[in-house]
Amino acid sequence: MRRTARDTEESARRINRRSLMMGGAMVAMFAVLGVRMRFLSVEQADEFRLLAEENRINMRLIPPERGLIFDRNGVLIAGNEQNYRVTVTREEAGDVDAVLARLTNLIPITAEDMERIKRDLDRNSPFVPIIVADRLSWEDFSKVAMNAPTLPGVTPEVGLSRHYPLVEDFSHVVGYVGPVSERDLEERPDPDPVLRIPEFQIGKIGVERWMEDTLRGSAGNKRIEVNHVGRVMRELERTDGTPGRDLQLTIDAEVQNFIQARLGEESAACVVMDVNTGEIIACASSPGFDPNLFVRGITQRDYSALMEDDHRPLANKTVQGAYPPGSTFKMVTALAALEEGLITPETTHYCPGYLEFGDRRFHCWKRGGHGTVDLAKSLSESCDVYYYEIAQAVGIDKIAEMGRRLGLGIRHDLPMSAISEGIMPNKAWKQERWGQDWRIGDTINASIGQGYVLASPLQLTVMTARIATGRAVVPRLIRAIDGTPEPLPEAEPLGLSAEGLRAIRGGMYEVMNTQRGTAYSSRIADETMAFAGKTGTSQVRNITAAERARGVISNDQLPWNRRDHALYVGYAPYENPRYAVTVVVEHGGGGSAAAAPIARDAILRVLHGDIPPLTAYPANQRGRIETDLNALREKLRDLTQTGNSRA
Amino acid sequence: MSFLEYRVKTVPGGLRKVFYLNWPLVVLITAVAAVGFLILYSIAGGRMEVWAEPQMKRFAAGLVLMFAIALVPIWFWRNMAGLAYGTSLLLLLAVEFFGVVGMGAQRWLDIGPLRLQPSELAKVTMVMMLAAYYDWLDLKKTSHPLWVLIPVLMILVPTFLVVIQPNLGTSLMLLMGGAAVMFAAGVSIWYFAVVAALIGGLVFAVFTTRGTPWQFLHDYQYRRIDTFLDPSADPLGAGYNIMQAKIALGSGGWGGKGFMQGTQSRLNFLPEKHTDFIFTTLGEEFGFVGAFSLLILYGLILFFCFTSALQSKDRFSQLLIIGLSANFFLYLAVNLSMVMGMAPVVGVPLPFLSYGGSVMLVLLIAFGLIQSAHVHRPR
């Protein structure tokens, strides 16, 4: 349509006016944008710069290498072994199923594992590596490494994992490590962030647990740049952590191995201690278990097998087991009476085989009685009536006080799990525990280590060492940390009269070295190493009068778990005591037959620093002993093979 | 059937036209595009072939197209307006049926090597159509209700076709772009006031119907609005884009982190870093100075467009330039508001910077038309 000039002018005028209005609006918008830009990038710059850095930089912890554990001679007890594993990353693999199928041809992957892998792959972001196989053999590992070009997304990795080369020998003392559980985290008020690293291992029981802070070390860290999905782009900075500190135990791994083998299949415990320093030379509980199973994550089947075993392999019987000490307690009663001046070594009592008290009759183990008994004879022949008599005069409170001085009924602080305090009862204890008055009958029972009295093999060893030295020896398990020896304070004297102690030790010598002594057959022939000790047999059930009338059934005829515990405490050499030993054989029968021979072998092994020579044994036993020792030698571990000695 | 009401003789002819092109505009456009190449190069981690090189090729091709369009007389384009408009409506229909589904929406057509977004083309053709309409319309009838209804329909038809794709951002831009032409043509201001009031009511309705079966928008569109209102509420989910964009812009500070030093984009924290959110990388690497300079370049482009419009006496040319400039302005205003957290994330590219073929091509076609109007204006 043709327009007039006027219309054209009018049109242009209108458009110009409107476009100027629009231009104004645009300028205003530009101003708004500019101001906003300034606000974001100038005024809020610092805040956003920080956020950008937070986006970009991640801290990753570098797990520290766990401290090693050695025995007193530098034999490795707990080490870190290289753990070969293979991971797969979904994102890099492309066709994951095909890659996994190819991998299955190289290394064994069970259907179960495959299910877990698939589940993990689905559950995690595509860039997260998933463990396909753990603890591969070197052969399998290198197969994967060599085929890496055909396996996109598959990475062979090397990590560190705890390893216990001595297997069951230290399962109870050293314990084991395992993956950090929720409970581990809850127990700690401020858990070290390193515990949150997946695959990180923490001490679960034993030294591994109680020395965790020493062994763990501190984590290093690296600052890494990550992209939006958290994938690592590069490492910016790295601070190495400090590895955990190495521990040296007081235990001699060879002795430990010898004793563990000597205990064999018995449900038993044996503690050997240096009487002068308190260093624990051996601390064996049998049967043991393979701690490596727990590190790997024990299977349900293995675990229930351990739980259902009536010999309780998981229990550390040396510190955890609390047994009625039986006759091994007699030294305590005697010392209490001697200290009170109520008896002298020459005091005698007549033993008719029982003691009548009120309407109750307390029997001596020997039905016919021991006749006239003095202190030495009461120990060597283990007369019970003698102790019934003197205990009534001394009273339980004095006996308990003496027990405590000798280390019973108190907790010895060692880095081991489930350490039992035992029970050293007195009047107040019974009132508090049972709400009942203490009765003389309780004292009579306690005088021979029955009734309420309970003690662990460790406590009995401490008791023996204190009797042998007259000093308040304190047990020790850690010899050095990172090569720095732990301080070794000299034990305080117990303040007991020398005569009294001498009389007790004399009695213990006679137990072993007189014809009538209960452990004569377990004597040491070598005079310079003469053995002193005390046997004990503790009932795990009450013998009723009716039973007694029928004739007491011999142990052999009882079911295993109803038989008596066999106990033995001793030290050697008699003249110049060096080592104390305790052996407890659960349901082993008599202490002289079941426990004393083990104690002799153990202490001879320590004294000789090797398998004891036959000359140490009485001549008439050598034939049998030779066979036994040879059989034992077969079972010993060659520690020169496994020990990466670092001493 | 020439529409010329002015003396054609004053219009330069032949190759002499080249001297009459709006050269400052060409230089400015090239400058902005160059900034884009630089950033695309940086985002790709210093590699040309990823984004910068294809983008440069497209720009070069588009520039040639722009010159070609510029040299064709503007009255030819006026006569083509109806055809162009009709074609783009057909393409919009085609994209409904044969379009490629991307990002949950049907948005483009694959024609050989060309990936065409008809909705982008529609922005230009609709402006052409409206300008031609008002050029034809008797001046006195401009505000007559009947004659207002016709352009409104011209706007609503393509808008409807885009909104069902669904592409909210582009349909809003079509509405606003069309409204800008009507406004410039002199339609009574009261119409706009009424529409503004209606929109206010609609917004109210949109929010009150949310969650009911009659809700106006898709859930994701509601979520985008939520996100816009409070991006920090869901920094890992829906608010992630905006939060990261703001972090990138903000962390650039006054002078930026330096070329190729932007951690946000290089480490992939930025979503759509090479397309809609490209401005954030500019802000991160060149800071406020760089970002503001770009704003000035854009401002200058618009300034030259408007002066060109004001110089012309031809109604079609004037309306075309203003409409296309308004479109150009809408692109950048919406995009910048979006990345700076002032508007919901609606998927509008930043003109000449964002990586993408259709937009680049359409923009250069638009500037070709602006140039043509500039060259062929009566003197």
Give the whole-angstrom CA distance, residue B261 versus residue A1: 59
With a CB cutoff of 8 Å and minimum separation 6, the contacts of B204 are none
Give the whole-angstrom CA distance, residue A320 versus residue B338: 70
Which of B 230-259 lie inside 8 A of A, CB atoms? 244, 246-254
How many domains does one find in chain B? 1
**C-alpha A275, offset from chain centre:** 22
Q: Averaged over A618-638, what is the pLDDT?
A: 90
Question: Is B249 among the domain residues?
Answer: yes
For A26, the closest chain B residue by CA position comes to B329
Give the whole-angstrom CA distance, residue A257 versus residue A641: 14
Question: Is B3 among the domain residues?
Answer: no
The pLDDT tens digits for A419-463 are 999 999 999 999 999 999 999 999 999 999 999 999 999 999 999
Q: A452, A424 in Cβ contact below 8 A?
A: no
- Give, as one character, the DSSP assignment of residue A188: S
The pLDDT value recorded for residue A504 is: 94
Kind of pairing, strands A57-62 and A69-70?
unpaired
**C-alpha A646, offset from chain centre:** 22
Give the whole-angstrom CA distance, residue A584 versus residue A575: 25
- Phi, psi at B339, each rounded to 5°: -75, -20
- Phi, psi at A56, each rounded to 5°: -85, -35
Q: Averaged over A4-19, what is the pLDDT?
A: 85
- Listing DSSP states for A329-397 in one string gives GHHHHHHHHHHTTS--TT--EEE-SEEEETTEEEEPSSTT--EEE-HHHHHHTT-HHHHHHHHHHH-HH
Mutate to test the interface with A, among B138, B247, B293 (most CBs of A within 10 A): B247
**Record: contact B252-A45, CB cut-off 8 A:** yes
Element (H, E) at B60: helix B53-71
- Give, as one character, the DSSP assignment of residue A426: -
A139 by Cβ neighbours in 10 Å (0-12 / 13-18 / 19+) ranks as exposed
Lowest average pLDDT, out of A201-205, A273-277, A376-380, A545-549, goes to A545-549
The pLDDT value recorded for residue B234 is: 55
The pLDDT value recorded for residue A329 is: 95
Q: A579, A273 in Cβ contact below 8 A?
A: yes
- Listing DSSP states for A265-309 in one string gives TSSEEEEEEETTT-BEEEEEEES---HHHHHH---HHHHHHHHH-
Question: Is B9 among the domain residues?
Answer: no
The pLDDT tens digits for A438-450 are 999 999 999 999 9
Element (H, E) at A440: helix A440-447
Range with top average pLDDT, A90-99, A114-123, B303-312: B303-312
Give the whole-angstrom CA distance, residue B90 versus residue A19: 31
Question: Is B336 among the domain residues?
Answer: yes
Question: Is B354 among the domain residues?
Answer: yes
Question: Is B195 among the domain residues?
Answer: no
Task: Answer with the residue of higher pLDDT: A102 or A279.
Answer: A279
- Reported ipTM: the value is 0.89
Give the whole-angstrom CA distance, residue A534 versus residue A554: 22
Lowest average pLDDT, out of A223-227, A269-273, B103-107, B241-245, goes to B103-107
Q: A162, A202 in Cβ contact below 8 A?
A: no
The pLDDT tens digits for A313-338 are 999 999 998 999 999 999 999 999 99
For A52, the closest chain B residue by CA position comes to B247
The pLDDT value recorded for residue A138 is: 83
The pair of structure tokens assigned to A362 is: 């307390």
Residue B183 with chain A: CB contacts under 8 Å? 18, 21-22
Q: B124, B133 in Cβ contact below 8 A?
A: no
B212 Cα to chain A: minimum distance (Å): 34
Cβ neighbours around B188 below 10 Å, total: 14
Q: Is B3 on the interface with A (CB under 8 A)?
A: yes
In percent, the amount of chain A with pLDDT more than 90 equals 51
CA distance readout (Å), B246 to B13, B72, B239:
50, 44, 11
Closest partner residue to B247 (CB to CB) among A2, A23, A48 is: A48
Query: What's the pLDDT band for A140 if we cut at 50, 70, 90?
Result: confident
Residues constituting chain A:
647
B194 by Cβ neighbours in 10 Å (0-12 / 13-18 / 19+) ranks as exposed
Q: A403, A421 in Cβ contact below 8 A?
A: no
Residue B333 with chain A: CB contacts under 8 Å? 26, 29, 33
The pLDDT tens digits for A477-512 are 999 999 899 998 888 999 899 999 999 999 999 999
Closest partner residue to A1 (CB to CB) among B6, B136, B246 is: B136
Residues constituting chain B:
379
The pLDDT value recorded for residue B104 is: 45
Give the whole-angstrom CA distance, residue A48 versus residue B248: 7
Cβ neighbours around A450 below 10 Å, total: 21
The pair of structure tokens assigned to B86 is: 């009709």
Kind of pairing, strands A76-89 and A154-163?
antiparallel
Question: Is B70 among the domain residues?
Answer: yes
- Return the bridge partners of A243, or none: A217
B139 Cα to chain A: minimum distance (Å): 7
Task: Tell me which residue of A282, A338, A276, A271 sits closest to A505, measured CA to CA.
Answer: A338
Q: Is B300 on the interface with A (CB under 8 A)?
A: no
Q: Is B307 on the interface with A (CB under 8 A)?
A: no
**Domains annotated on chain A, with CATH:** 63-249 (3.90.1310.10), 253-303+313-479+487-639 (3.40.710.10)
Angle subtended at Cα A476 by Cα A472 and Cα A478, rounded to the nearest 5 degrees? 155
**Record: contact A19-B247, CB cut-off 8 A:** no
The pLDDT value recorded for residue B101 is: 59
Q: pTM of the prediction?
A: 0.62
Q: Is B287 on the interface with A (CB under 8 A)?
A: yes
Element (H, E) at A481: strand A478-481
The pLDDT value recorded for residue A54 is: 67
| Residue-averaged pLDDT of chain A | 87
Q: Which domain holds residue B339?
A: 16-186+239-375
Task: Say which of A161, A285, A327, A538 is annotated catalytic.
Answer: A327
Helix axes B168-185, B118-136, angle to 10 degrees: 20
Count interface pairs A-B at CB distance under 8 A. 148
Give the whole-angstrom CA distance, residue B103 versus residue B345: 13
Q: Is B1 on the interface with A (CB under 8 A)?
A: no
The pair of structure tokens assigned to A553 is: 């059934």
Q: Averaged over A144-167, what is the pLDDT?
A: 82
What residues in chain B have per-residue pLDDT under 70? Answer: 1-10, 99-115, 224, 227-240, 263-271
Give the whole-angstrom CA distance, residue B278 versus residue B249: 10
Give the whole-angstrom CA distance, residue B320 versus residue B314: 10
- Listing DSSP states for B144-188 in one string gives -HHHHHHHHHHHHHHHHHHHTTT-HHHHHHHHHHHHHHHHHHT--
Tokens 């993408």 — which residue? B356
Tokens 């002068």 — which residue? A276
Cβ neighbours around A238 below 10 Å, total: 12
With a CB cutoff of 8 Å and minimum separation 6, the contacts of A521 are A592, A596, A597, A618, A621
Question: Is B347 among the domain residues?
Answer: yes
Active site residue A327: yes
